[in-house]
Structure 1
Amino acid sequence: MKKSIYASLLPAIILINVNIQRLTAAPVTRDSSHDFSAAAAEEAIKQFMDKYKVPGLSIAVGKDGKIVYARGFGIADSAADKKVNTQSQFRIASLSKPITAVAILKLAEQGKFSLDDKVFGEGGVLGTAYGTQPYPEGISSITIRQLLSHISGGWQNNGDDPMFHNKDLTADQLISHTLNNQPLKNRPGTAYAYSNFGYCVLGRVIEKVTGKPYEKFMLTEILRPAGVKHMEVGGNTADEKRKHEVVYYSRDRSAYLDNVTRMDAHGGWIATPTDLVKFLWQVDGFDNRPDILQSASIREMTTPSQPNPSYALGWSVAGATWKHTGSLPGTGAEMIRTGGGYCCAVLVNTKQGGDFFKDLDILVKKITGLP
């Protein structure tokens, strides 16, 4: 692609989330009939990049516990004439949520809490550390499970999303402010409303029960044991861009207006696709390598809630397919585990309108042999 095509594009970011769904817990058995084709994958990638004028894209494909393909395409930084390679880091947006969910399930296995424990109020995991007592109606009945499955009753990812307001507040300060000033819309457990804020709270649950900062715990206990080497929570400003991190190209607003570091548990990580595939291997339920979670936890993690038969505990689910997508203006992302033994991640450094995310999903399905 020519640099001039992207010279006028501005770095930008806003968190959005796309969810594809399922009805029952996925089996661990699989149909391995699809054979990966690098040539077919590259042709599909080229068509997608050409259609949406994608500056840069990185992909990793794992099959039966082995990396069968990893490659970068296009531009990482047009001003510095840097190309995307397999070490390039991208913001992964809401792909952060299933990573946080796995940590929560692991801590539940260790007896730190039950998924049905209350989060706020006397006897809750976070107790009365946040907000002013007494809590508004419903807040003291919210459970960890409800936060995981976006059925806590409010704080939806819309114009009132707390995570995109009061950017100078810390996560702790924002939680207190939100509990005091933003009442729930529904009774907890009765309605699905996708919530970035709910996962921000889950990050603080992890910190409370482990006594460690969220990022440190995730790296030492979840990601490094999986062989993940290039993941970290991203920065907020252009000066905080990591050494191998791409530039984000978009016609939307600047990539440095939001508090990305505060998004940690719901949308703050940066990663390479290979790192994401290695993470997926730890929870795919297949028998080619050990999982970080017990099989019962994996079944629970991929069983949807009653209010939304298409979203489980941190994952969009559809039959034997578990996935998540995420976006920031300037970033599109998808990772997927299929019943055919594939684990795949695709990251791009732009976001377009129209059918961009639909076509990104079609691209991933084509590569992994899904209809």
Structure 2
Amino acid sequence: MDDEMAGTKMKPHAITGVSGGRSRFLTKYFVIWRSDEFSWAGRTIPHMVLPGSTSINTTKLDEAVEKEMRSSELPSLSISVHRRGQTILSISYGYSDLRLESRASPKNKYRVASISKTITAMGIAELVNRRHISLDSKVFGAKGILKWLDVSRAHPWIRAVTVGHLLEHSSGGWSNQEKLEFNRTPQTERLNGTALLEFYIRSYNPKFQPGRRYLYSNIAYVFLGKVIEQTTLSNYSAFISDVILKPHKIEAQIGDVEPIESEVSYYSPDNANPYTYWSPSKLDAAAGWVMRAEEVARLFALLELHKYKWYWLLVQPSEGKRSYGRGVQLGDDGSLYHIGSLAGTEGIGYSRGETQVNHSFFPKML
């Protein structure tokens, strides 16, 4: 490893382990390397356009992106614009790997973080429209979809939580401020499967009765992924891929500790290390998908096309927050969008009428 890192001006920073991933019993250990020396100062920011994707003059866009990348020291940024069923722009800037100085390409894949919630909500819509479940279906307890999970030591209000509450972030508990879902939480670092879910259940400490208000929650969407699995008797990602993504030629995968093919490297400016702070495989239905920017734009085109029919439930304003539907933000201008932001990655999927946009990028470098 020392030979591999020689000449990179990086230094070993810490040794860390991550449990879970594809194997619930395996803990992988990593040496974290750190460098404070990379900067765009004095460098040309490379960019790459997907061949055949545009005839647009990108000069003004290039200038604006370069200004922001230099100001915020963003390692990479990828933008895709979809209009009337066609990709009219797909462009990337910067490096997909700082150590190797690999040029970012529109074919690179990024963790899309909470944009995953839109995908999960579309999966729930499939089940509601097929009358397998309803928004009023209870999730926990003897009459719930996930009745096999032990709620005997949970707050009694958990038995009132419905599918709709989880979709709308109105379950009353599991606020993101509690950070229960992140790997560096001592209680969850080595938990997987049922043990992790039941830890979440025991940690349900509601601030209000279900359905009363909005309280954004990653864990709510983790449970929605389990609702999909229990209802379909199939793997969450397999169901989403087979029913939503593959029929519309959208490529996406759930990420893992190890990068998948064409996935970028991730960087973070603080102690929230992108490889150890959170696990895409644990946060699958909430924040686990990995996609190209073009695929996110096409996903939002699919949602836009069917928003008043098959995906109607996503665009209905929720009771707790009128600007949030179910798995998607509702803009005052009629737009639909969702932001994704976790250690090492940020992005937004956006749709308004005939135009869909995604841009994904790394936050500020180390």
> TM-score per shorter chain, which class?
0.7 to 0.9
2:166 corresponds to which residue?
A: 147
Give the structure 2 partner of residue 191 of structure 1: 213
Contact 1:328 1:351 in 2 (8 A): no
Give a deviation string over 1:94-145, Cα, whole Å, max 9, x none: 0110011001011111111011111112222222x11243752211111101
Q: In terms of Rg, which structure is larger? A: 2
Q: 1:8 to 1:352 in 2, by over 3 A?
A: closer
Summarize the alignment of residues 89-100 of structure 1 with structure 2, pairs less than 5 Å apart: 89-100=109-120
Structure 2 spans left out of the alignment, 5+ residues: 1-7, 11-33, 38-54
Root mean square deviation, CA, Å: 2.5
Amino acid at match of 1:173: A
CA contact (8 A) 1:131 1:175 kept: no
Query: How many positions carry a matched residue from both structures?
Result: 314
SS in 2 for 1:326: strand
Identify the residue that residue 42 of structure 1 maps to in structure 2.
62
Distance 1:201 1:57, change over 3 A: same
Aligned to 1:211: 233
Structure 1 residue 307 and structure 2 residue 283: aligned?
A: no
Query: Kindly tell me: are residues 342 and 36 of structure 1, through their superposed partners in 2, closer, same or farther at Cα, counting changes over 3 Å?
Result: farther
Equivalent in the alignment of 2:286: 266
Distance between the aligned counterparts of 1:259 and 1:298, measured in 2? 29
Contact 1:38/1:69 (8 A) holds in 2:
no
Of 304, 309, 333, the residue aligned with 2:347 is 333
Cα displacement (A) at 1:37: 5.8
Partner of 1:126: 146
Quick check: which one's strand share is greater? 2
Residue pair 1:316, 1:322 contacting (<8 A) in 2 also: yes
Deviation at 1:171, TM superposition (A): 4.0
Whether 2:51 is the aligned partner of 1:51: answer no
Cα gap change, 1:277 to 1:250, in 2 (>3 Å): same
Relative to structure 1, is the Cα distance of residues 108 and 351 closer, same or farther in structure 2, using a 3 angstrom cutoff? farther
Paired with 2:365 and 2:350, the residues of 1 have a C-alpha distance of: 21
2:196 aligns to what SS in structure 1?
A: helix
TM-score by length of 1: 0.79
- Mapped contact 1:131–1:177 kept (Cα < 8 A): no
Task: Please give the alpha-carbon distance, in whole angstroms, between the structure 1 residues aligned to 2:90 and 2:149.
Answer: 44
In the alignment, what sits opposite 2:298? 278
Aligned partners of 1:323 and 1:337 also within 8 Å? yes
Q: Match for 1:329: what amino acid?
A: A
Structure 1 unmatched ranges of 5 or more? 11-34, 286-290, 354-371
Aligned identity (percent) is: 28
How high is the TM-score relative to the length of structure 2?
Answer: 0.80
Work out the CA distance in 1 between the residues paired with 2:357 and 2:207.
Answer: 36
User: Kindly tell me: are residues 132 and 119 of structure 1, through their superposed partners in 2, closer, same or farther at Cα, counting changes over 3 Å?
Assistant: closer
Structure 2 distance, partners of 1:100, 1:36, is 34
Q: How does 1:286-365 map to 2 (within 5 A)?
A: 291=306, 295-319=308-332, 320-339=334-353, 341-351=354-364
Contact 2:181–2:283, Cα closer than 8 Å, also in 1: no
Q: Which has the higher contact order (CA 8 A, sep 6+)?
A: 1
Q: Following the alignment from structure 1 to structure 2, what is the Cα–Cα distance between the partners of residues 321 and 352?
A: 31
